[in-house]
Structure 1
């Protein structure tokens, strides 16, 4: 399943509030930042807000610039991005501006919520029932696989942002920090309490926009278990990019690998045949850069564009065995090894049989294959 790129966007006060407790919406951004948000909206396939934000703010969620809308149409896109909301209860006001402005709209809800909404919303609104509960992974999978959404902007509220970030499903966080304090204990905050991904996020950009400061961050801490996180996808994409650096070979795959600690610290990266060694594998080269006694390895994740080899002729120890000996317990890969050089290769099976969590993200398979296209036989030849 292809999850969209999930961008969380919000304006906050210096003390971390989204609003105050007054009856009117507190405007934290200025004209320059409103225009920046409009530009970001225009570059997305869909914009999502939670039902709570729909009730309290009554937003329209439009691309306001006529020029940007025209550019979307010229590019073969709808004039407006898809508007999305999520409500488990189905308690939504049919008179809200959300439904009566802009282009297509979709509601994700439960079976019970869908019954409640039946016949209450404008006929063109798509109501998608996801079963007894609304799971964010199911929402993102439907948006990616069915709606074709590749870039999703999430504009609130705080509960939605908190859930997506805590579940490791946010690819990027864009915060516009306004030069004022709210100071009200009951006012809504950007994030609530809970268990967030560990470690520090990676800063992509910081710049002034009028009198607010835009900060862009991406999470980098790997996921856990068999569920892939947004950070897992980012690191695997980097491993696939590393594979393109491999010296060409007709007798070996081009593979990239990155080893990342549980807190998101990059421990090592490497690619096949790195440093002039004609037979070194990517995972092997990356592990060789680390002290075998490094305590971070036990909770680390290895990202490899091709599954670690289970058998090889060039060295005694295949990469799957090296990973096991290093104590790594989680591997994320894009592509299962074909029979090009070794038949019935099953590095993933070897690792899994020893208790290692192996996550395969097939949406990255084509990227992993690209540096190896010369190894594929021409059509009609075996």
Structure 2
């Protein structure tokens, strides 16, 4: 199944609660962490919340920074990510901020829910989706309750496949707890970004982040911990099967994107079509590029991507370069090969899907050059066919 990379985002108290039972939303994150969340929003294609979150919190779900919105537009993306919600009943307030701020919206619901939503004039693309339990349910936010909360019958795979078909490659899920629980239990989550706030709720009636049920076995892999004012961010990923903990679901997501970027290259008889993405350790996309981008007949994918990043950006030292083809070790068109550009940028991890053949440069060994410079090179051979696809005309 083709699906977006699914990133779960939440903040909890020290005793594991998403909220208290008071009438107002309990603010768990710090101001600096709210800005981090804004940065993550700017990096995704869509943001999803449950209907209960819309009712309880009336969120806008915007990218607040003008600079980040401008960077999205400059990269050819919509100013705001797509906003997504789910509701079995389709009974949502058409005056809620969700519908009247930001860009496009999608509501996934039942056939009856779709009738209600369209009759109410909700400003969204309404999609009737199978798999809701009989009677419908609401996937809720922190204070959501009632008989419809927490249903488990939604066909999440169909929903994610539909989002992928809409061009969504990176999905941020902001709540509520029922949604996070279901995506983890169905092994559809690729990353969990969890913020721990220094306070206790202590009310057993308050909502917790995760509910009971069966979860995938084994421990998640801790990718990062970071202090942000008085809260702590913890990032977890499930490891890829058989990868020994060295390859994550994120690696598969970004390498697949690099292969997709290679399809955008103008065809050439004298050079490969390659895509590349540079990603910070916290999962933020720093830049992307592809061969012959911008009409430059000799620019390489890694070169195009790295040129878009400030050489002094401290995130480069812990970033990963994802390239559909092994970075070149030698080239005639520029003074520096891509492997050298990566070393000079300070990047110390590269993930690729295809070792460079001898088509244009005999004995090329970009991986060897990188490894000699202290770079961890990971080859995922299952992506070789995808990386080769836009280069079929060069096959001898």
Under TM normalisation by the shorter chain, which class is it? 0.5 to 0.7
CA distance in 2, matches of 1:193, 1:164: 13
Are residues 378 and 19 of structure 1, via their aligned partners in 2, closer, same or farther at CA, if it must alter by over 3 Å?
closer
SS of the residue 1:85 aligns to: strand
1:194 aligns with 2:213: yes
CA distance in 2, matches of 1:93, 1:372: 49
1:107 corresponds in structure 2 to: 107
What whole-Å deviation, never above 9, does each CA across 1:137-170 have from its counterpart, x for those lacking one? Answer: 011000001x100000000000000000000000
1:369 aligns with 2:368: no
Of 152, 155, 161, 1:135 maps to 155
Matches within 5 A, 1:34-113: 34-113=34-113
Structure 2 residue runs without a partner (length 5+): 133-153, 257-352, 354-379
What whole-Å deviation, never above 9, does each CA across 1:199-224 have from its counterpart, x for those lacking one? Answer: 1100000010111000000123759x
CA distance in 2, matches of 1:120, 1:31: 36
Alignment root-mean-square deviation, CA:
3.0
Matches within 5 A, 1:121-200: 121-122=121-122, 124-131=123-130, 133=132, 134-145=154-165, 147-200=166-219
Matches within 5 A, 1:240-251: none
SS of the residue 1:155 aligns to: strand
Structure 1 residue runs without a partner (length 5+): 224-230, 241-333, 335-363
Question: Are 1:112 and 1:132, in contact at CA under 8 Å, matched by a contact in 2?
Answer: no
Are residues 129 and 222 of structure 1, via their aligned partners in 2, closer, same or farther at CA, if it must alter by over 3 Å?
farther
Question: Are 2:240 and 2:249, in contact at CA under 8 Å, matched by a contact in 1?
Answer: no
CA distance in 1, matches of 2:38, 2:250: 26
CA distance in 1, matches of 2:252, 2:73: 33
SS of the residue 2:162 aligns to: helix
Question: What is the TM-score when the length of structure 1 is the normalising length?
Answer: 0.60
CA distance in 1, matches of 2:76, 2:249: 28
1:213 corresponds in structure 2 to: 232
CA distance in 2, matches of 1:62, 1:188: 24
Are residues 115 and 67 of structure 1, via their aligned partners in 2, closer, same or farther at CA, if it must alter by over 3 Å?
same
Question: Are 1:111 and 1:129, in contact at CA under 8 Å, matched by a contact in 2?
Answer: yes
CA distance in 2, matches of 1:371, 1:76: 23
Deviation at 1:370, TM superposition (A): 6.1
Deviation at 1:15, TM superposition (A): 0.5
What whole-Å deviation, never above 9, does each CA across 1:227-270 have from its counterpart, x for those lacking one? Answer: xxxx9966878999xxxxxxxxxxxxxxxxxxxxxxxxxxxxxx
Question: Are 1:222 and 1:232, in contact at CA under 8 Å, matched by a contact in 2?
Answer: no
Deviation at 1:113, TM superposition (A): 1.1
Question: Are 2:131 and 2:155, in contact at CA under 8 Å, matched by a contact in 1?
Answer: no
Deviation at 1:368, TM superposition (A): 2.6
Deviation at 1:116, TM superposition (A): 1.6
CA distance in 2, matches of 1:376, 1:104: 37
Deviation at 1:173, TM superposition (A): 0.1
Q: Which one has the largest radius of gyration?
A: 1
Question: Are 1:20 and 1:182, in contact at CA under 8 Å, matched by a contact in 2?
Answer: yes
